[in-house]
Amino acid sequence: MDKVAAAKAILGTSTLTETVDAALAEIQDAERRRALAKLLFEPGSVDIDGSGERTDAWR
């Protein structure tokens, strides 16, 4: 199976244009997921316990 046929099968597309568009969208989504994971695992980047300065704003 060639790369285009494999990509079509994985992405559920039928034309080359659809396949390329879907593949590019997958790349963009993967980058967003990577950036979010990096943010979530970076110490201090997310104030989960509410100890940050903004806590008082909601009182």
Tokens of 11: 């992405």
User: How many Å apart are CA 42 and CA 31, to the nearest integer?
Assistant: 16
56 DSSP assignment: G
User: How many Å apart are CA 7 and CA 10, to the nearest integer?
Assistant: 5
Beta-carbon count within 10 A of 8 CB: 19
Percentage of the chain surpassing pLDDT 70?
78
Q: Is the pLDDT of residue 53 over 70?
A: no
Tokens of 12: 């559920």
Q: Is the pLDDT of residue 2 over 80?
A: yes
Please write the tens of the pLDDT for every residue from 4-29. Answer: 999 999 999 999 999 999 999 999 99
Predicted local confidence at residue 1, as pLDDT: 74
Predicted TM-score of the model (pTM) = 0.67
